[in-house]
Structure 1
Amino acid sequence: MSAAASLAHQLGAEPPTGLSLSEADTGQLAALIKEARRAQGAELEASLRKALEIVPRPLRGTVRKVVGL
């Protein structure tokens, strides 16, 4: 996959027309976006798990299913 195609995949759309980066920089930007999304997802899951600690124990299983954990 080319760097431009990888960036378009990460953005979910074609990059802006005014964006003029080298092939290496475009690939690096795509990799940075991918890593940022992975880290954000991990932080979100950790915060949801931490928030479940205030839910009464008998309800935690149901709440986990509702929030998708």
Structure 2
Amino acid sequence: MRMPHKSPNRRYQQPSRIRRSAITFFVSADAKPKIRAALADAGYGCSYQEGIVEMLKDLLIKQGRDPHI
């Protein structure tokens, strides 16, 4: 009896990450709290990811582009 082939390289992927790619950027350590505060003060959210995604959506809307990201 043959066993079904299983790919050993397949890893679990969080459903929220399917069909998405990461963007990474680096800032100095002392800039991180300033960026977080600026995003929160501008109403973009309290976390880096939420704030930057919301800020980018706002920018896309202002430029007349599709904000679906």
The answer to whether TM tops 0.5 is no
The structure where helix makes up a greater share of residues is 1
Structure 2 length-normalised TM: 0.32
